[in-house]
DNA sequence: TATGAATGAGCGTTCATTCAT
DNA sequence: CATGAATGAACGCTCATTCAT
């Protein structure tokens, strides 16, 4: 199964033959077909498996959320860690793109995954808005789309050109620019409310 | 050729058979093989063709660059326009992901393309820094990576979930958050230098 | 085993997988292989089993034979009964056809079965000839072939088109036409011998 | 195509692999797939082709029908000829049995074929009834079923046991017994109607 | 006795590619 | 220039059979 995920992540669904998975895993085709009805079930099982793991790690790393900007930074760090340690994120990215017009069911699965991810991010942003550390005139869902898009774009560029694109650096930038944009200036806050973290920090430097 | 690009954009390289292109284009397979040595050459020809067009439109839309923030906004607008009008961007995205580990030569081509794109963006950012409207403590190349990543991430999310992700809105956000992050505060500017555009605008609202 | 016969009757030998039999019978493949050396032995065992049953029922229904025309009618009735109650006859027919050129051993088995059946029929006809109710210028074996062929043809047509071909009606016709053909005219009978059944009803003739 | 028919006739549909047809015909699998969409189309094309030929030969051999008994005899002769010269009849028989529960579409095709055949036979019988050579108290369709069944049963027995079952002899018997059954005695005919041919001939001998 | 896991040969089918015309 | 026919390698999948437990 790990082998299958590896192959799918590298060569895509169509580019991965059952033979390749089998021989890479040191078993025969027949053995695979004993455990999975067909290639698609193998894929879906792999997706289900890994997505659950990914979501647990993201949520687990920052729960409970008390400091929204820190939570976003932590999520970015987890994404970097996952993306560089194993190929889970790449697995998702590769298959998501491939599925777009070729596999409606799989595409729907990825759509749901991304929606959950954005929804989770939006919750964090909304919390920040309630706390007064984030401005309220930006829709939380839009901020979530920006963050998710930044993550995806960073990963894709990194996979594409690892020697030029340092994933950690870019991902930090994704957080920085979003937080910078969202953070209200202290002197603009209504009386009695204070940003808990020095917003200046984010504006000034990067990594 | 247009048909080929269309098929590649939709179904990817492996998912597109010569038969499909031929019958969709109303010609025979033999005719295709008369004009292109093999499937890969057809692909490369298509890529070369479209990339040139894309770069011309981006550069042409903002040249010469005088107002960096406006230039970034304009580039974002062009990307939205291209992405929604035809499938050129999707063509690039789809094939880029697919080529990652399966076609080194194609992958190199896309690497070069992205590098040129980021390099062009970095130039704009650098100009803004020289003009004093952008802070100088952020590397221009890093800002370029963030912008490019934001564009890619926005497009991918849009293709994946068009009814939830409005490409125009997200892309505007990409510009907003980056410009917000890069823009220096007026009171921090050295004497005699003034931001030409009201930086505050970007902080306050969106779209 | 009943399940196996059922599957073979319906889908043929090649069309029946061990998996199908096993899961239909609620056991595992391994269990089948414990009881039968291979698929072919399972088939032969099934054939042997059912043929014996069929022959017993046919012979049992009319023995001892005293009235040849009545015996033929009775055999036809038994065939109809068997063919419509369970799928035994169909089992034989299906496998017989399939085995023709693909399984010499099985084909030989069916050849023997049919020979025994015809031989039994010929005995009845011969008895009728000795009794004087059947004309003697027709070879008994030929009459047996006609009867057997009529039965087979009737069944096959019935399986093929049950709503148009009423097996009982056709089978009755098989008996009628044969008896009509075999029955000698009363005025041609030697003195002292009388047809026991009303030959007139069945008999008409010529070409 | 001829090769395909030959294989299908011998080994059935499931028992015939594309490889077998291809190599028997001296071409490659790919060539077959260039001319036929899939195995089933190849089969249907073969069936369509051969059925048309069969029907033409049967109808052509006795048209126009003037003498019903002679027409039946002629049809039997044609069937014998076709069955012994090429494997067309066997092709039909084999596939018809196999298709019963495994291929509804093919089964329907064979159902239609048999219906047409019986319908044609019934027409001949009906003509005989109008001419007064056949008794009218037997439904023409039933007589047709008996004749068709006799033909099928004769062929099947012959394929199964060629050294014991002489197709020509049995087929002649099929005609004899049916005509014998259907033919009215001259003295039972209504006044003014006379059997045109001497009926006695058929009673006396066979083959 | 019975099971679950595994094997490997073979099947129907696809597809990039070639080639005579 | 273009076509239709053909090739052969590979693919997804099935299935009879084996075997350790």
- pLDDT, tens digit (0-9, with 9 covering 90-100), for B116-159: 999 999 999 999 999 999 999 999 999 999 999 999 999 999 99
Kindly tell me the sign of the dihedral angle through the C-alpha atoms of D37, D43, D46, D47. negative
Taking an 8 Å cut-off on Cβ atoms, the answer to whether C146 and D174 are in contact is yes
Q: Does the pLDDT at position C177 exceed 90?
A: yes
C1' nearest to CA of D18: which nucleotide?
E12
Taking an 8 Å cut-off on Cβ atoms, the answer to whether B138 and A169 are in contact is no
User: To 10 degrees, the CA torsion angle through C123, C125, C131, C137?
Assistant: -120
How far is Cα D146 from Cα C201, in angstroms, rounded to an integer? Answer: 18
How far is Cα B126 from Cα B133, in angstroms, rounded to an integer? Answer: 10
Q: Does the pLDDT at position B1 exceed 90?
A: no
Q: Does the pLDDT at position A31 exceed 90?
A: yes
Using a CB–CB cutoff of 8 Å, tell me whether C101 touches chain D. Answer: yes
Nearest CA in chain C to D148: C153
| pLDDT confidence band for A66 (50 / 70 / 90) | very high
- What SS3 string covers A37-84? CCHHHHHHHHHHHHHHHHHHHHHHHHCCCCCHHHHHHHHHHHHHHHHH
Q: Does the pLDDT at position C189 exceed 70?
A: no
Taking an 8 Å cut-off on Cβ atoms, the answer to whether C153 and D150 are in contact is yes
Q: Residue D1: what pLDDT? A: 86
| Closest CA of chain C from D134, distance in Å | 9
C140-169 burial: b if 16+ Cβ within 10 Å, else e: bbbbbbbbbbbbbbbbbbbbbbeeebebee
Using a CB–CB cutoff of 8 Å, tell me whether B146 touches chain A. Answer: yes
The average confidence (pLDDT) of chain C is 89
Using a CB–CB cutoff of 8 Å, tell me whether C174 touches chain D. Answer: yes
Nearest CA in chain B to A165: B145
How far is Cα D180 from Cα C184, in angstroms, rounded to an integer? Answer: 12
B interface test, pick of A89, A93, A97 with most B CB neighbours within 10 Å: A97
Using a CB–CB cutoff of 8 Å, tell me whether C204 touches chain D. Answer: yes
Contacting subunits of C (3+ beta carbon pairs below 8 A)? D
| pLDDT tens digits for range D5-14 | 999 999 999 9
Taking an 8 Å cut-off on Cβ atoms, the answer to whether B177 and A173 are in contact is no
Q: How many degrees, rounded to 5, is the angle at CA D203 between CA D200 and CA D207?
A: 115
How far is Cα D148 from Cα C30, in angstroms, rounded to an integer? Answer: 45
| pLDDT confidence band for A200 (50 / 70 / 90) | very low
Neighbours of A136 (CB within 10 A): 13
Nearest CA in chain D to C205: D180
Q: Quick check: B33 CB within 7 A of strand E? A: yes
Taking an 8 Å cut-off on Cβ atoms, the answer to whether D151 and C150 are in contact is no
Q: Which ranges of chain D have pLDDT less than 50? A: 189-207
| Closest CA of chain B from A186, distance in Å | 14
Kindly list the structural domains of chain A, giving each domain's residue range(s) and its CATH number in brackets, ordered by start: 47-206 (1.10.357.10)
Q: Quick check: B18 CB within 7 A of strand E? A: yes
**CB-CB neighbors (< 8 A) of D139 in chain C:** none
CA C29 to C1' F13, in angstroms, rounded, equals 19
Using alpha carbons, list the distances in angstroms from residue C36 to C41, C64, D22: 6, 38, 35
Cis peptide leading into residue A111 (ω within 30°): no
Q: Does the pLDDT at position A202 exceed 90?
A: no
Residue D60's contacts (CB-CB under 8 Å, 6 or more residues apart) are none
Q: Does the pLDDT at position C45 exceed 90?
A: yes
CA D21 to C1' E3, in angstroms, rounded, equals 39
Using a CB–CB cutoff of 8 Å, tell me whether B110 touches chain A. Answer: yes
Taking an 8 Å cut-off on Cβ atoms, the answer to whether D10 and C101 are in contact is yes
Taking an 8 Å cut-off on Cβ atoms, the answer to whether A177 and B177 are in contact is yes
Question: Out of C97, C100, C151, whose CB is closest to D153?
Answer: C151
How far is Cα A73 from Cα A152, in angstroms, rounded to an integer? Answer: 15
Using a CB–CB cutoff of 8 Å, tell me whether C96 touches chain D. Answer: yes
Q: Would you state the structure tokens that stand for residue C104, as one six-digit string? A: 């010499």
Q: pTM for this structure?
A: 0.87
Q: Residue D193: what pLDDT? A: 43
Q: Would you state the structure tokens that stand for residue B54, as one six-digit string? A: 């894309």
CA C46 to C1' F12, in angstroms, rounded, equals 34
- Residue found by looking up tokens 């109710």 in the block: C133
Alpha helices, H only, chain A: 2-11, 18-25, 29-35, 39-62, 68-85, 88-99, 104-131, 140-160, 167-182, 199-204
Q: Do chains A and B touch (3 or more CB pairs under 8 A)?
A: yes
| pLDDT tens digits for range A120-178 | 999 999 999 999 999 999 999 999 999 999 999 999 999 999 999 999 999 999 999 99
Q: Residue B185: what pLDDT? A: 63
| Closest CA of chain B from A151, distance in Å | 7
Q: Residue A86: what pLDDT? A: 83
Taking an 8 Å cut-off on Cβ atoms, the answer to whether B181 and A164 are in contact is no
CA A14 to C1' F14, in angstroms, rounded, equals 21
Please tell me what DSSP assigns to residue B65: P
| pLDDT tens digits for range B146-158 | 999 999 999 999 9
CA A76 to C1' F9, in angstroms, rounded, equals 45
**CB-CB neighbors (< 8 A) of B176 in chain A:** 181
Residue D67's contacts (CB-CB under 8 Å, 6 or more residues apart) are D196, D197
Question: How many residue pairs bridge chain A and chain B with CB atoms within 8 Å of each other?
Answer: 158
| pLDDT confidence band for A113 (50 / 70 / 90) | very high
How far is Cα C68 from Cα C58, in angstroms, rounded to an integer? Answer: 14
| Closest CA of chain B from A178, distance in Å | 6
Q: Would you state the structure tokens that stand for residue A25, as one six-digit string? A: 């895993």
CA A31 to C1' E5, in angstroms, rounded, equals 8
Q: Would you state the structure tokens that stand for residue D77, as one six-digit string? A: 């002769």
Q: What is the DSSP string of C103-161?
A: -HHHHHHHHHHHHHHHHHHHHHHHHHHHHTSB-SSS-HHHHHHHHHHHHHHHHHHHHH-
Q: Residue D145: what pLDDT? A: 98
How far is Cα B46 from Cα B6, in angstroms, rounded to an integer? Answer: 10
A175, with CB counted inside 10 A (0-12, 13-18, 19+), is buried
Residue B5's contacts (CB-CB under 8 Å, 6 or more residues apart) are B46, B49, B50, B87, B88, B91
| pLDDT confidence band for C203 (50 / 70 / 90) | very low
Q: Quick check: D40 CB within 7 A of strand E? A: yes
Q: Residue C204: what pLDDT? A: 41
Taking an 8 Å cut-off on Cβ atoms, the answer to whether A145 and B137 are in contact is no
Contacting subunits of D (3+ beta carbon pairs below 8 A)? C
Taking an 8 Å cut-off on Cβ atoms, the answer to whether B146 and A173 are in contact is yes
Please say whether the beta carbons of C9 and C91 come within 8 A: yes
Q: Does the pLDDT at position C110 exceed 90?
A: yes
Q: Quick check: A33 CB within 7 A of strand E? A: yes
| pLDDT confidence band for C66 (50 / 70 / 90) | very high
Q: How many degrees, rounded to 5, is the angle at CA B24 between CA B21 and CA B26?
A: 105
Taking an 8 Å cut-off on Cβ atoms, the answer to whether A150 and B150 are in contact is yes
How far is Cα B187 from Cα B190, in angstroms, rounded to an integer? Answer: 8
| Closest CA of chain A from B95, distance in Å | 9
Please say whether the beta carbons of B124 and B71 come within 8 A: yes
| pLDDT tens digits for range B42-83 | 999 999 988 998 999 999 998 788 999 999 999 999 999 999
| Closest CA of chain C from D54, distance in Å | 18
Cis peptide leading into residue A45 (ω within 30°): no
């Amino acid at each position: 199964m790990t082998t299958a995920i590896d192959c799918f992540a590298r060569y895509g669904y169509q580019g991965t033959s059952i033979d390749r998975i089998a021989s890479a895993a040191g078993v025969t085709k027949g053995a695979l077909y004993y455990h999975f009805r067909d290639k698609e079930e193998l894929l879906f099982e792999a997706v289900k498996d890994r997505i659950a793991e990914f979501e647990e790690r993201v949520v687990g790393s920052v729960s409970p959320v008390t400091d929204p900007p820190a939570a976003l930074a932590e999520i970015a760090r987890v994404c970097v860690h996952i993306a560089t340690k194993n190929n889970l994120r790449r697995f998702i990215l590769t298959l998501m793109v491939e599925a777009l017009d070729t596999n409606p069911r799989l595409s729907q699965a990825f759509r749901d995954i991304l929606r959950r991810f954005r929804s989770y991010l939006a919750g964090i942003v909304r919390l920040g808005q309630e706390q007064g550390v984030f401005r309220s005139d930006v829709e939380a869902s839009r901020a979530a789309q920006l963050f998710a898009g930044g993550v995806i774009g960073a990963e894709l560029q990194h996979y594409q050109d690892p020697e030029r694109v340092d994933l950690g650096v870019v991902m930090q930038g994704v957080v920085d620019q979003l937080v910078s944009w969202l953070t209200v200036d202290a002197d603009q806050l209504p009386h009695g409310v204070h940003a808990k973290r020095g917003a200046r920090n984010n504006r000034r430097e990067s990594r």
